[in-house]
Amino acid sequence: MSPQKKRQSSWRIRLLGELQFNYRTFQYLGPEQWVPRTRIENLQSRVSRHIIKESAMQHLKHCQGLAQVFLIRSQSSRLSKSIIPSLSVWDGNISSRWRSTGGHGRQKYFNDRLPKFRFALAGLLAGSGAVLAYKLQQGKVQWAATSAELPVAETSTPPIYTLEEVTKHRSLDNGVWVTYKGDVYDITEFVAIHPGGDKILLAAGGALEPYWALYAVHQQEHVLEILSKYKIGVLNPESYKKQESANPSDPYSAEPTRHPALQINSLKPFNAEPPASILSDNYITPSVIFFKRNHLPVPRLDPKTYKLEIEGLPDGVVSLSLSELKSRFPKHTITATLQCAGNRRSEMNQVKQVKGLNWGIGAISNATWSGARLRDVLVYYGFGPEVEAKAKHVQFEGLDRDVTGSAYGASIPLNKAVSEESDVLLAYEMNGEDLPPDHGYPVRVVVPGVVGARNVKWLGKIVVSDEESKSHWQQNDYKGFSPGTDWDTVDFKSAPAIQELPIQSAITHPAEGTSLDLSDKELTVKGYAWSGGGREVVRVDVSIDGGKTWHVAKLRSSDTGQHPVPPPPGRAWAWKLWEIDIPVPHRAQELEIVCKAVDNSYNTQPDTVAPIWNLRGVLSNAWHRVKVKVSV
């Protein structure tokens, strides 16, 4: 933007020598900045309460060699008839100017050149600043001019904005605006000092409420006081109440509301993952940002009329209500990580294009799940040695259906379903609450240690059978193939359906391409690690030189920092979060950070993607690599 255009849209308030003065808050700002007109309007009301008297100019004149304050004003400013004081230092020469605009005509410039005060400049600046601050604090300073005072107007209502205007301010370049309870805030200056770093930018151009709900620390008085300093206006009533109208002909019209932090891979059906920057903030992933993997529209189910059918048992078809499921069977709780088969598919796309959603590293999350054990339910309704001798699989069918009426389905081996150590649940709670709609309300299957595709949501039917599910997603998807297999030669019947997943790890901090200021000479690296089948992660190795040298990260299995009791062998269902501080080599300009995990069976990750590439982009678990720049 040219200087002329900037002057047309804002006032620039500057002290030469990299000093600046923001007349809205009377604070030293540092680097040069443009002050929005809305802030000048806010200034007007403040000036009206703190009439600045003539003595200020007298004090400034006594401080020879002082800095000159420029107030360069828009021609379309509401203060069209104001007298604007202007003082500046040019290499020690003092220049006092008064600019008059509007109906009184343009007044004369006065320019008095005085001797240079190179050696006294620093002291003069400090002294004059103290005088000005003192006078402002006492409320005895008045802008003085030869013929007029600065006119101010009382503003009874704050500026009003639309949502469209707010959403245009989503970056540091364009300004960072957010809303909270109908008010609009310009928090651009606050981003650099936000205790949570640049995560605050996730809310840029939108509402703060969804993000503050994740972090209870924001629900405190002093936080609201800080926010209030950045208020610039309010939303108009239409924007505040705005809701998207539902289209009854659209099968996705009744979809639930999702958290705005989620990075969307597809809208219909909805598939999204949390940003890597917040993925490992919590050992237990908040339900609202737990990755969403839907294959069909989310069904709207009434818990009062919900029925779960069970087939393949001696007593024939069984129908079970939600209340019966909760009352007849003990409630069992586990902590388990779910991961999509396509997690980190984007890295396979970098080798060669594959078919599937372009997942990053966030198609994995960890939660507590509560419900009835599948084994308990099956045994209650007649499962025994006779059935076990014939059956080999347990099939699951969801209540989510496509336009043809076909439902999502999957199956798991019978021994996994009925083992006392498998902890397979008919879950009705997630993180201590009813399952959210996106996660299978009112009942879903949770099969810990197994690919997410077998954890069927909105469960409507269970079938104990000698056959796998005939579902497309069991027979013709979620299978791995050789890198040499393409879509012309692939035979889905030749490969088994994915069940247990291989060992996995990824770096959540720092992000790819980040420029790091390493004045402390250490780099903090964070991430997650998990292995399928209940195998426990026992080590994570981290390198910052592309794998030449390695460091062992510290693992944790809770949010509190305590050391929980290790899980029984074969039942480590939850991920490990890890962190490490690594010294940065002297004069390093770029770092290639690498991580790899090891489980208790000593399975580890392959070093590159190419040897495990496959046409569906599943089972992507090569060493995760992140490159960052270093600035000293």
pLDDT of residue 155: 54
pLDDT of residue 214: 59
Q: 35 has which bridge partners?
A: 11
pLDDT at 202 over 50: yes
Q: How many residues does the chain have?
A: 632
Q: Rounded mean pLDDT of 258-262?
A: 96
Backbone angles phi, psi at 122, to 5 degrees: -60, -45
The pTM for the full model equals 0.69
pLDDT at 33 over 50: no
pLDDT of residue 632: 67
CA distance 495 to 478: 10
Beta strand pairing status for 537-543 and 551-552? antiparallel
What residue ranges in 238-324 does DSSP mark as E strands?
263-266, 271-273, 292-293, 307-311, 318-321
pLDDT at 194 over 80: yes
- For the record, the structure tokens of 339 come out as 């991961």
Q: Helix or strand or coil: residue 506?
A: strand
DSSP string, 206-217: SBSHHHHTT-GG
Query: Can you list the pairs that 126-129 forms with residues at least 24 positions away whose Cβ atoms lie under 8 Å?
Result: 127/63, 128/59, 128/60, 128/63, 128/66, 128/67
Position 104 confidence tier, pLDDT thresholds 50, 70, 90 = very low
Burial class of residue 435, CB neighbours in 10 A (0-12, 13-18, 19+): buried
Closest by CA to 553, choosing from 579, 576, 574, is: 579
pLDDT at 599 over 60: yes
pLDDT at 251 over 90: no
pLDDT of residue 97: 33
pLDDT: which is higher, 231 or 244: 231
State pLDDT tens for residues 372-430: 999 999 999 999 999 999 999 999 999 999 877 889 999 999 999 999 999 999 999 99
Average pLDDT of the chain is: 80
pLDDT at 221 over 80: yes
Burial class of residue 260, CB neighbours in 10 A (0-12, 13-18, 19+): middle
pLDDT of residue 278: 96
- For the record, the structure tokens of 630 come out as 């270093």
Q: Under a CB-based contact definition with an 8 Å cutoff, are residues 71 and 86 in contact?
A: yes
Position 238 confidence tier, pLDDT thresholds 50, 70, 90 = confident
pLDDT: which is higher, 588 or 535: 535
* Integer CA distances (angstroms), 609 to 347, 595, 596, 617, in order: 7, 14, 13, 10
Position 309 confidence tier, pLDDT thresholds 50, 70, 90 = very high
pLDDT: which is higher, 577 or 21: 577
Interior/surface letters 318-329, b for 16+ CB within 10 angstroms, e for the rest: bebbbeebeeeb
- For the record, the structure tokens of 465 come out as 């059978």
Backbone angles phi, psi at 410, to 5 degrees: -165, 175
Share of the chain above pLDDT 90, in %: 61
Position 210 confidence tier, pLDDT thresholds 50, 70, 90 = confident
Which residues are identified as catalytic?
Answer: 194, 218, 293, 340, 478
Q: Rounded mean pLDDT of 249-270?
A: 91
State pLDDT tens for residues 139-160: 443 443 333 344 444 456 899 9
